[in-house]
Chain A
């Protein structure tokens, strides 16, 4: 406490607070409306996926490896999108997603192994409950569907059966909705008889293919969307855990944000909990924004992603000497599915050095996966760490929560929860 009063730009925290508890505690957040869904971590005690399968929890090293795959695939996809010649080449190959091998390297997608936050929605009539990964970095919502003509992985909820839904219908190949799949998935649709067939492949080679369909989406008893367009997956493989699929919150016309625009006005918000043992929320539509400060979206390079502009970083209250150009040259997106923030290497190295300087009382620990600024807290039950503040376009300053600064590697080690890209131009 004494140290804290002398140096106000420190957080003093119990090391145990960086680790999840063994039991779930539910959020008491204020932003609750009819259209609020509970957000929970796929591998924490609030998830029914974990409660009955505690041994399926992956190692942190695995999650960070998946995270690197996602970060690389986002960068590959943005590079791809900037090359129109490549897009033409892709769209000419009408049958490519039927041939899995032909589809692999053509359109980089988003790795999903690290898409760890789930929400529960309802689909069909009568409504079936589905737990979906929520992802601001992709657009198409899909779920596994009976009869799983080729392959379904094991999921926790019963697999959606369109034959049991009175409001279900397929989309025809000739419809305008079918052609929208090209931008939403990066792949041209195909046809099975007259039914539109989608295929979406992610950067880690996870994929879902099946019928492009519509049915009733239920966010809450009062928020129901007939004719919601989604993928009814008949061939699904990859790092989806035991979830039922994915909820796409990107900017494309097929995303849930766009499809519900008439009611929610393309407005949504979420809060991710401090640890995987507590819950957060995802709210559609305007609710009390509370104390939110707004930064403008930056001009977008891709159809899906939400670009913002970082202008400065503060460590321990002190602004780092990083040229704004470093951030402008690369651009920045905000993503609910990437775990660790990636910075241009020049910015990251400056941040790491400043953080280490203010943490010099703690011994260093070896690097862990993509994290290379690590500390040994053996013998400590509480530690003092520098505050970290990001400044975004429009002068918006955001103080990070301590659990957004350090990630615990175990009970005695933690690492700065940031990583550098390979190159300032990434």
Chain B
């Protein structure tokens, strides 16, 4: 399996809408 790791997630707003079955990415989260 491939893994999208935490280095690549830096500064992104990563949104887990588990009930809605979707994952969000936003720029400039912090």
Measured CB to CB, the residues of A under 8 A from B are: 27-29, 31, 67, 71, 74-75, 78, 116-117, 136, 249, 251, 257, 261, 265-274, 278-281, 289-297, 301, 306, 308, 310, 327, 330-344, 347, 390, 392, 396, 398-401, 403-404, 407, 417-418, 421, 426
Nearest chain B residue, comparing its CB with the CB of A332:
B2
Which residues 1-30 of B have a CB within 8 angstroms of A?
A: 1-30
Does A308 contact B23, Cβ atoms closer than 8 Å?
yes
Determine whether the beta carbon of A270 is less than 8 Å from that of B27.
no
B16 contacts A335, C-beta separation under 8 Å: no
Q: List 27 A-B contacts (CB under 8 A).
A: A28-B30, A29-B29, A71-B3, A74-B3, A75-B1, A268-B18, A269-B16, A269-B29, A271-B12, A273-B30, A279-B30, A291-B26, A294-B22, A310-B4, A331-B1, A332-B2, A334-B9, A334-B23, A335-B4, A336-B9, A338-B3, A347-B2, A396-B25, A398-B12, A399-B27, A400-B10, A404-B9
Given the interface contacts A29-B29, A271-B30, A297-B23, does A289 sit within 8 Å of B3 by beta carbon?
no
Residues of B within 8 A of A (CB): 1-30
With A267-B17, A335-B5 given, is the CB distance from A404 to B11 under 8 Å? yes
> What is the total of A-B residue contacts with beta carbons within 8 Å?
185
CA distance A379 to B7 in the complex (A): 26
If A293-B24, A294-B22, A294-B23 touch, whether A338 touches B30 (CB-CB below 8 Å) is no
Contact A271 to B22, CB < 8 A, known contacts A74-B1, A281-B30: no
Nearest B residue to A334, CB-CB? B4
**Are B7 and A290 closer than 8 Å at their CB atoms?**
no
Task: Determine how close the nearest CB of chain A comes to the CB of B22; give it in whole angstroms.
Answer: 4
Find out whether the CB atom of B6 lies under 8 angstroms from the CB atom of A332.
no
In the complex, residue of chain A having the shortest beta-carbon distance to the beta carbon of B29: A271
- When distances are taken between beta carbons in the complex, the residues of chain B under 8 Å from A292 are 13, 15, 24-26
- Report the separation of the CA atoms of residues A278 and B27 in the bound assembly, to the nearest whole angstrom: 17
Contact A31 B13 (CB under 8 A): yes
CA distance A16 to B20 in the complex (A): 40
Select one of B5, B12, B13, B17 contacting A342, CB under 8 A.
B5
Report the Cα distance A217→B5, complex, angstroms.
28
The answer to whether B8 touches A269 (Cβ under 8 A) is no
Cβ contacts under 8 Å, A273 to chain B? 10-11, 30
Q: Which 6 A-B pairs have the closest CB atoms?
A: A271-B29, A292-B24, A271-B30, A292-B26, A29-B30, A266-B18
Q: Which residues of A contact B18 (CB under 8 A)?
A: 251, 257, 266-268, 297, 306
Contacts A117-B6, A266-B18 given; indicate if A401 touches B23 (C-beta within 8 A). no
Evaluate whether A308 and B14 lie within 8 angstroms (CB atoms) in the complex, with A280-B30, A290-B29, A297-B23 already known.
Answer: no
SS class of chain A's interface: helix, strand, loop or mixed? mixed
In the complex, the answer to whether A136 meets B16 with C-beta atoms within 8 Å is: yes
The reply to whether A332 and B12 contact each other, CB–CB distance below 8 Å, is no
Contact A343 B2 (CB under 8 A): yes
Cα-based distance from A88 to B20 in the complex (angstroms): 32
In the complex, A379 Cα to B4 Cα: how many Å?
32
When chains A and B are docked, how far (Å) is the Cα of A67 from the Cα of B3? 11
Verify A297–B4 contact, CB threshold 8 A.
Answer: no
In the complex, are the beta carbons of B2 and A330 less than 8 A apart?
Answer: yes
- Also in contact, A407 and B16, with CB within 8 A (given A330-B2, A332-B1, A396-B25): no
- Residues of A within 8 Å of B22, CB to CB, are 294-297
Known contacts A29-B29, A31-B13; A272/B23 CB under 8 A: no
> A269-B14, A280-B30, A290-B13 in contact; A340/B19 too (CB < 8 A)?
no
Residues of B contacting A331 in the complex (Cβ-Cβ under 8 angstroms): 1-2
Bound-complex Cα distance A332 to B2 (A)? 4
Give the one of A29, A289, A292, A331 with max B CB within 10 A: A292
Q: How far is the CA of A27 from the CA of B26 in the complex (A)?
A: 16
B16 cross-chain contacts in A, Cβ below 8 A: 136, 249, 257, 266-269, 306
Which residue of B is nearest A326, CB measured?
Answer: B2
Contact assessment for B29 and A280 in the assembled complex, using a CB-CB cutoff below 8 Å: yes
- Taking a contact as CB atoms under 8 Å apart, the answer to whether A337 and B6 are in contact is yes
Chain A, Cβ-Cβ closest to B22: A294
Asked if residues A333 and B1 are in contact (CB atoms below 8 Å), the reply is yes
